[in-house]
Chains A and B, each alone.
Chain A
Amino acid sequence: MRNPQLNKHGELQHLLTLDGLPRDVITAILDTAAPFTEVAEREVKKLPLLRGKSIFNLFFENSTRTRTTFEIAAKRLSADVVNLNVSTSSTAKGESLLDTVDNLCAMQADMFVVRHAASGAPVLIAQHLQATARDHIHVVNAGDGRHAHPTQGLLDMYTIRHYKRDFSNLVVAIVGDVLHSRVARSQIAALTTLGVPEVRVIGPRTLLPTEVEKLGVRVFHDMSEGLRDVDVVMMLRLQNERMNGALLPTPQEYYKIWGLTQEKLALARPDAIVMHPGPMNRGVEIDSAVADGAQAVILPQVTFGIAVRMAVMSMLAGQ
């Protein structure tokens, strides 16, 4: 069973997940991203690395933010970008996922940036391309179900490295709805691969996956214990539809117990940074005073995200 994101030489062919991605590959992506952060500060924010390449943003699930950052990253690399919101076009007419892909391949796509509500959809596309000998086409997972959001995980690693320099002495806490979060899975995979000695997850039992400890994390249910002496707090978004029901009673109770306030943050190390993948629910998982506070690095995450996506796309499809 070949790792579907590596080619037969073990090189990165697609970016589908951070789970199982070798440490040196992750580090290489972060290293490649570093100079790209400067491109944004130039008068002409463009590099010719992907000139003439066609990148299809294939979004089967709505997203404005992630799609936009991929689009900006691709355009800064001089690629031609086509945005397809497939949830409103072909699959609604009954076309299968792979039929859609085949049609776009026939339009000479060089790369697909895929978001899909089902875990594993980009893996399926990558396997399909491999089975049909179209190894020149690359797939970047822009979020699939609960499975993975590798570029988010990478930009989070970039952010941590930017502020903390070294992963080998950190305590990192991931707080909130880990169960439904592809972001959390990618973060856990990257943090453990990069050698973070202690990764914690904090949340109610209803929002933590079964046997999550086997992913290499310590489980906490209590914020005051879980946040103690951490260097990095990674908050997760709580989806609206999960706030009232069988998973949680109310957003108010959630905020009271697991919402990140200044008071709870004070239990972390004084130089701890606070991250959030966005969009935030202020007053549910995070208090505005923290979100806008001195320890928050939430907006730099967005900026770094473009550089990291440029790095991924140029490493996959660049000359």
Chain B
Amino acid sequence: MNRIYVFVLLLLLPLNALAITADEAMKKSQAAFLYPGADFKARVMMKLISKGGQERVREMMMLRKNFGQPGGEQKYFMYFFQPADVRNMTFMVYKYPGKDADRWLFVPAINMVRRIAAQDKRSSFVGSDFTYEDISGRNLEDDTHAVVKDEKIGDRDCTVIKSTPKAAEMEYSYKLSWIDKTTFLPMKEEYYDKKGELYRVFSADEIKDVKGHPTITKRSMKNLLSGHMTEVSFLKAEYNVGIEDSLFTERYLKQPPKRWIE
């Protein structure tokens, strides 16, 4: 009897293993990409580059803290250095799995903290080619994931996963992700439109080991339709820096602690 069970299980294994691999790979990728450490701090330099080569710079301090397991709640605190007209502004996000985030913006010129409407996760973050979802992650349950093939990116062995949104009204029909088999970081992502044409490409351009966590310290997102692209560099990236829960409050949004803003 037992032998028969084992036999049946063995027969099923490859199929199950494949199915689990896509979901699990994405889950591990999410954990490696967005959730390493208890908290994270980086000075973020964003270059918005137009088709004609004109550059605009967005520079901010990003502080992130996990509240729970990978895929769970996170809080973000951002302080803007550049451009000059948003200097000293701060921005705070409470991200929840499976429901809309809470967002607050502090406008220093009038000393005002306001909640801002945040329904559209596909909106551009500060005018860049990255969306809010690209920055803080997409709910994995919102897509179905399937392994397409194995492929190398440079000298890294990657699993290519196709993620198809369950909702019909998404602006892309599917996304291909090249997930590094060792680090589980996404090395490349391609977004395909309704006609199945490639229009948006993410690439991880530099990976560094930060406190034992492989971290993408340079990345870019290119829009093939507009020719516009955004390059992001993480400077002074650091994990487990001991960000207090109290940082994510109106008090510090209005008066960001100097020791976190450098």
Instruction: Report whether chain A binds chain B.
Output: no
Could you tell me which A residues sit within 8 Å of B by CB distance? none
Could you tell me which B residues sit within 8 Å of A by CB distance? none
